[in-house]
């Protein structure tokens, strides 16, 4: 929440600074890549609990993301309650059945075949945590008046990417899920009108027999995703 009387620019010295050699930078970047390429999107979860402190620390890390005008236009709802998870699953599967029964184009359904998805979303019950990501269209000053948020999808997308990275580094697996439409999430979780649900993230440990689609291990080579001028 921002105060109208605190909207002036004030410079402070950079509080944190890395001073690595070129060799150390290369090694650190390569080590991070080596760790992140072991990240997998997983649909098969163990019921092993995950401490709330882990989820809170990862969301706190996401909250350090850059954002338009530093408005931080995001909100995360972390759900452990089995009854609420079951309600989310039921509502999500209702929308997914519509999607697979004609709501999506044939081309879209065909593109999903190698991934092996369908309308059943058992992971929404089994995963110990669901995190619902909301983007805030506007904020409110401390006196209750509104202010506009800027670059909301971009800002929230960056924060969500940082959240997925933090969860992976904590030894957990995730699955992003975007039922369409998602308005039921705001209603179910009691979020205000200015917040738009963007996705559900299932979080937990993989089941012992967890599998991933073979096609998911294919990533475009660097030559296809990078141009250096």
Coil, helix or strand for 13? coil
Q: Determine if the pTM surpasses 0.85.
A: yes
| DSSP conformation letters of 60-119 | HHHTTS--BTT---EEEEEE--HHHHHHHHHHHHHHHHHIIIIIS-HHHHHHHGGGT--S
Q: Which helix (H) or strand (E) holds 222?
A: helix 222-225
**Domain boundaries in the chain?**
41-209
pLDDT tens track of the chain, all 229 residues? 566 677 788 999 999 999 999 999 999 999 999 999 999 999 999 999 999 999 999 999 999 999 999 999 999 999 999 999 999 999 999 999 999 998 889 999 999 999 999 999 999 999 999 999 999 999 988 888 899 999 999 999 999 999 999 999 999 999 999 988 899 999 999 999 999 999 999 999 999 999 999 999 999 999 999 999 9
Fold designation for 41-209: NADH Oxidase (3.40.109)
- Answer for the pair 199, 221: CB distance below 8 angstroms, yes or no: no
Residue indicated by tokens 């027999």: 209
DSSP 17-60: -----HHHHHHHHHHHHHHHTT--B---B------HHHHHHHHH
């Amino acid at each position: 929440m921002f105060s109208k009387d605190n909207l002036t620019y004030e410079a402070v010295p950079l509080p944190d600074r890395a001073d690595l050699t070129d060799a150390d930078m290369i090694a650190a970047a390569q080590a991070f890549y080596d760790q992140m390429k072991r990240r997998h999107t997983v649909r098969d979860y163990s019921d092993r609990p995950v401490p709330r402190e882990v989820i809170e620390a990862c969301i706190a890390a996401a909250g350090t993301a850059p954002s338009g005008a530093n408005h931080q236009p995001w909100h995360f709802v972390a759900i452990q309650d089995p009854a609420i998870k079951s309600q989310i699953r039921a509502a999500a599967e209702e929308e997914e059945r519509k999607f697979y029964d004609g709501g999506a184009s044939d081309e879209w359904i065909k593109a999903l075949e190698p991934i092996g998805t369908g309308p059943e979303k058992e992971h929404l019950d089994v995963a110990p945590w669901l995190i619902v990501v909301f983007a805030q269209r506007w904020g409110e000053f401390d006196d209750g008046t509104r202010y506009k948020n800027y670059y909301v999808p971009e800002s929230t997308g960056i924060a969500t990417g940082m959240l997925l990275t933090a969860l992976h580094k904590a030894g957990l697996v995730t699955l992003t899920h975007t039922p369409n439409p998602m308005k039921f999430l705001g209603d179910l979780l009691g979020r205000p009108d200015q917040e738009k649900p963007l996705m559900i993230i299932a979080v937990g440990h993989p089941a012992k027999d967890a599998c991933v689609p073979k096609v998911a291990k294919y990533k475009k080579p660097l030559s296809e995703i990078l141009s250096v001028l």
